[in-house]
Amino acid sequence: MKRRVILIVLTVIAMTVFVLAGCTTEKAKPSTKLQVVTTLFPLYDFARTIGGERAEVTMLLPPGMEPHSFEPKPNDIIRVSKAGLFIFTNRYMEPWAGSILKGIERKQLQVVDAGQGIAYMKAAAEDEHDHDHGDHHDDNHAGGMDPHIWLDFGNAALMADNIQAGFAAADPANATYYRANAATLKVRLTELDQRYRAGLQECATRTFLHGGHFTFGYLARRYGLEYRSLSGVSSESEPSAARMAAMVRQIRSSGVQYLFAEELLSPRLSETLAGETGVAVLKLHGAHNLGRDDFQQGTGFIGLMDQNLANLQKGLACRVK
Amino acid sequence: MDILEILSYGFIQRALLAGVLIAVLCSVLGVFLVLRRLSLIGDGLAHVTFGSTAIALAFKIYSAASLLVSLPVVLLASLGILRLTEKARLSGDAAIGIVSAVGIAAGIILASVGGGYNVDLLSYLFGNILSITREEVLIAAGLFCVVMLLLGLFFNDLLAITFNEELARVSGVQTRLISSVLVMLTALSVVLAMKLVGIMLISSLLILPAVSALQLARSFKACIGLAALQGCCSVVAGIFVSFITNLPTSAMIVLINLLFFGCACSLRRLLTPGNSN
């Protein structure tokens, strides 16, 4: 009797899995459009805009996942091998991109390194925790370079150029269409940049404290903010008790009212710091990836950055024009 | 660095308090688990918690409420480990391996089927000893009381089945019940403590204090006492050393436990010069 019940339960589970698996394969109908596979959300969003109706763009990372926790599945590798264009951010951000490409026949696959030609910034160069953590914590991002290049919107425009060049090479027949879409995207990025410049001009404080790992360095540099994060650039690194205490002192001495935390990640450490110092926690989006609900609603990169701007203005007490 | 200054931080006070409670709890449980060859049960059950949290997140249950899903699943898994060792005559490590692999596989499959989450699962799964809230100190205290009380109540029976299960059964101890109590207390502690201080710390505190104490202790009670003492000291020392050396706290606590273990081994050799294995 007991065994029969177990058997029935197992059969039901197996059937559900097969039905669900069937659903996912059905979606991938063969199409004549250019098939584009991207790794992270900013690339997905840019490629979606540039490709318009003439390309089918997908993102490798499942919604909500930190890029570091990602491990490609067999299906992902098949998707890349069937695509005409594969776009990744840079070798610091997605060390696994190289290993996917190794096993693939690359003759008809165009590969775009979206970070090509961008001047990389050293992660946390002059910061206190640079010598605290040393290089051994940063081996995920070779050489301790900050991989979050898209958070400088000048870089984002360069990335759009790189992506557009990839589209043109993979599908020359539609090159002018892609170029026109890329131009529109770059105009919107320039407008975003201007909103940031204007919005962050007059602020009560320029100290931008983050209770997480080093993410917003590019953004802070572009708009002249003084950025400090609790831990180094690798999301696996754990802070020491001394680093926590140093951050507490920094929050107190700088007199800020808000501590920033990153969306998608657990805000435990930020909340501890905030509780210790009596400040409030505000969320910023690193835009590596989106939560499932945002993803299904089709939230875009520029929308996320406008949310960030609103929170930055609140957190730094900026005059809103 | 001034000790008073270190102690003035609230998060350090909470880390010390909750850390010591959890360390004593794990060390005491660890003695029974190590002797019953279930040392790795902490890691195994952590993987099952990963799977069960995936279920909770798939139904959009976040934070504290996800415990309501995790707890029964992990309790069942711990009983599963026990039954596997009895029914399939597997050794403890193989049984834990099976349950642990299935737990993590279920989590990964659910993550794929569910089409992702709204948050990064791994970052929510494990706590950090430096980010314990006031409520969590109370949870740790409650857990400590419940587990210690039950261990105290069943102490003689636990002792009997740990050293000779056959003999215990013959002399009328309900061995299955007592074994179940032990693994379920472990499951409860792993699930709750993992959210507080992270899994690395839990699984090392289940093993290292117990094996060090076993090197030295002459009686079972002394062994439990020594293990609890080491667990307690390692957490306190780890937090202060992490402060002074500026290195991650949990990792430092694990290393200090290893150091204690090394000392215990050397000490045993010194104390018993005749039969140094």
Structural domains of chain A in order of their starting residue, each with its CATH number: 31-118+132-189 (3.40.50.1980), 195-315 (3.40.50.1980)
Position A137 scores a pLDDT of: 39
Torsion on CA atoms B65, B67, B73, B75, rounded to nearest 10:
-140
Residues above pLDDT 70, as percent of chain A: 82
Measured between beta carbons, which residues in chain B are less than 8 angstroms from residue A244? 9, 11, 130
For residues A213 and A235, the answer to whether their CB atoms sit within 8 Å is yes
- Could you say which of B109, B118, B247 has the minimum Cβ distance to residue A240? B247
- Pick the more confident residue, B20 or A27: B20
What is the mean pLDDT of the segment spanning A89-117? 82
* Pairwise CA distance, residues B143 & A83, whole Å: 53
* Pairwise CA distance, residues B277 & B275, whole Å: 5
**Tokens read off for B102:** 């299935």
Non-local (6+) Cβ contacts of A288 within 8 A are A40, A41, A42, A61, A66, A67, A148, A264
* Pairwise CA distance, residues A42 & A30, whole Å: 25
Whether B10 sits inside 8 A of A275 (CB atoms) is yes
The alpha-helical segments, DSSP class H, found in chain B are 3-7, 10-35, 41-58, 66-87, 92-113, 121-125, 134-153, 155-163, 165-170, 175-197, 199-216, 220-245, 249-271
Position B263 scores a pLDDT of: 95
Position A122 scores a pLDDT of: 82
Of A62-66, A68-72, A246-250, B230-234, the range with the lowest mean pLDDT is: A68-72
Of A29-33, A280-284, A310-314, the range with the lowest mean pLDDT is: A29-33
Measured between beta carbons, which residues in chain A are less than 8 angstroms from residue B239? 241
Measured between beta carbons, which residues in chain B are less than 8 angstroms from residue A264? 118-120, 123
Min Cα–Cα distance to chain B from A49, Å: 23
* Pairwise CA distance, residues A297 & B186, whole Å: 42
Whether A266 sits inside 8 A of B123 (CB atoms) is yes
For residues B197 and B162, the answer to whether their CB atoms sit within 8 Å is no
In a domain, B115, yes or no: yes
Q: Does A243 touch chain B (CB under 8 A)?
A: yes
For residues A240 and A212, the answer to whether their CB atoms sit within 8 Å is no
Per-residue pLDDT at A146 exceeds 50: yes
- Could you say which of A64, A266, A268 has the minimum Cβ distance to residue B117? A64
Average model confidence (pLDDT) for chain A?
83
Whether B119 sits inside 8 A of A291 (CB atoms) is yes
Position A96 scores a pLDDT of: 79
Position A239 scores a pLDDT of: 85
Which one of A9, A18, A268, A285 makes the best mutation probe of the B interface by having the most chain B beta carbons within 10 Å?
A268
Residue B256's domain comprises: 3-271
Sign of the alpha-carbon torsion through B214, B217, B218, B219: negative
* Pairwise CA distance, residues A289 & A43, whole Å: 10
Measured between beta carbons, which residues in chain A are less than 8 angstroms from residue B117? 62-65, 291-292
Position B20 scores a pLDDT of: 96
Position B149 scores a pLDDT of: 96
Position A2 scores a pLDDT of: 60
DSSP A126-188: SSHHHHHH-GGGGTTSGGGB---GGGSHHHHHHHHHHHHHHHHHH-GGGHHHHHHHHHHHHHH
Whether B113 sits inside 8 A of A17 (CB atoms) is yes
Which one of B123, B199, B256 makes the best mutation probe of the A interface by having the most chain A beta carbons within 10 Å?
B123
* Pairwise CA distance, residues A161 & A155, whole Å: 10
Position A268 scores a pLDDT of: 86
Nearest CA to A86 out of A62, A119, A108 is that of A108
In a domain, B177, yes or no: yes
Position A65 scores a pLDDT of: 78
Whether A266 sits inside 8 A of B119 (CB atoms) is yes
Position A17 scores a pLDDT of: 61
Instruction: Count chain A–chain B contacts defined by CB atoms under 8 A.
Output: 113
In a domain, B88, yes or no: yes
- Could you say which of A245, A269, A294 has the minimum Cβ distance to residue B128? A269
Tell whether pTM > 0.80: no
Q: Which backbone phi and psi does A94 adopt, to 5 degrees?
A: -125, 80
- Pick the more confident residue, A18 or A131: A18
Please state, in angstroms and as integers, the Cα–Cα distance from residue A179 to each residue in A85, A113, A224, B258, following that order: 16, 18, 32, 61
What is the mean pLDDT of the segment spanning A20-29? 51
Non-local (6+) Cβ contacts of B202 within 8 A are B22, B26, B42, B46, B189, B190, B193, B194
In a domain, B58, yes or no: yes
Min Cα–Cα distance to chain A from B234, Å: 15
Per-residue pLDDT at A173 exceeds 90: yes
Whether A241 sits inside 8 A of B239 (CB atoms) is yes
Whether A242 sits inside 8 A of B246 (CB atoms) is yes
Per-residue pLDDT at A133 exceeds 60: no
Measured between beta carbons, which residues in chain B are less than 8 angstroms from residue A20? 113
Whether B131 sits inside 8 A of A268 (CB atoms) is yes
Q: Which backbone phi and psi does A129 adopt, to 5 degrees?
A: -80, 0
- Could you say which of A241, A272, A292 has the minimum Cβ distance to residue B249? A241
Per-residue pLDDT at A130 exceeds 60: no
Total domains in chain B come to 1
Q: Does A213 touch chain B (CB under 8 A)?
A: no
Position A205 scores a pLDDT of: 92
Non-local (6+) Cβ contacts of B219 within 8 A are none
Residues A216, B50, B36: CA angle, nearest 5 degrees: 130
Position A142 scores a pLDDT of: 41
Of A19-28, A76-85, A260-269, B83-92, the range with the lowest mean pLDDT is: A19-28
Position A192 scores a pLDDT of: 96
What is the mean pLDDT of the segment spanning A29-42? 84
- Could you say which of A62, A69, A241 has the minimum Cβ distance to residue B243? A241
Whether A64 sits inside 8 A of B245 (CB atoms) is no
SS3 at position A110:
strand
- Pick the more confident residue, A243 or A238: A243
Q: What is the pLDDT along chain B (277 residues), one digit of tens a residue?
A: 578 888 889 899 999 999 999 999 999 999 999 998 899 999 899 889 888 877 777 776 666 677 788 889 999 999 999 999 888 888 888 999 999 999 888 887 877 776 666 666 666 777 788 888 888 899 999 999 999 999 999 999 999 998 888 888 888 888 899 999 999 999 999 988 888 888 889 989 999 999 999 999 989 999 999 999 999 999 999 999 998 888 889 899 999 999 999 999 999 999 876 654 4
**Tokens read off for B119:** 């948050």
Position B119 scores a pLDDT of: 67
pLDDT band at A290 (very low <50, low <70, confident <90, very high): confident
Length of chain B: 277
In a domain, B276, yes or no: no
Question: For residue B198, what is the domain's CATH number?
Answer: 1.10.3470.10
* Pairwise CA distance, residues A103 & A87, whole Å: 16
